Amino acid sequence: MKLLVGLGNPGSKYKETRHNIGFRFLDQLAESEGLRFSVAPRFRVETATWQSSEGKVILAKPQTFMNDSGESISPLSRYYNIEPKDIIVVYDDLDLPSGKLRIKTGGGHGGHNGLRSLNQHLDTSDYIRIKIGIGRPSNGDITAWVLGRANEDDRADEARILHVLEEEFCHILHGNPDTAANKIHNKLNP
């Protein structure tokens, strides 16, 4: 069993913000697979269960706000007996330009408060990370940037990335994140 986590903030106020790209990927995947999210109040998370060709996957959108994501995901992963190596986290990354995606396993939080919380609450930080670039603001106001809505070009980049990620996601589930990263890179940069 795998746990696919999309990072974001709950509520309609944040739905279209750059910070909610993880939620948007899970929503897109759920819609494609005919899944519905339901609230799991015990864990403060919305979940959907996907019977993929690679096995059972729990989709999770923490409802604790970004900075406390680990408070939802850690008890949820323990409840389902899912080890960190079987957790996949999709989130926004300021250090990647818009239109770029990077997949890696393990590491620090890089200043991302959602990852900081996950790293504090999970036994290890060796989970799979799917970073989707949102770039940095030219004026240096990071809070306004991540909580703002992307321009039309950046939204087009996001749509393209999420589509290709969904197409190649089976490789990540099968335990081949490097294969997925290469295929995604080749599709995004023909």
Strands 2-6 and 87-93: parallel
> Is 174 a catalytic site residue?
no
What is the edge-to-edge ordering of all strands in the sheet holding 2-6?
38-40, 45-52, 55-62, 2-6, 87-93, 128-133, 101-105
Strands 2-6 and 55-62: parallel
Choosing from 19, 121, 171, 185, the catalytic residue is 19
Token duo for residue 55: 């096995």
3-class DSSP state for residue 63? coil
Whole-number Å distance between alpha carbons of 180 and 184:
6
Sign of the alpha-carbon dihedral angle for 62, 68, 71, 73: positive
Q: Which residues pair with 50 in a beta bridge?
A: 57
Residue type, position 43, single letter: F
User: Which residues are known catalytic residues?
Assistant: 19
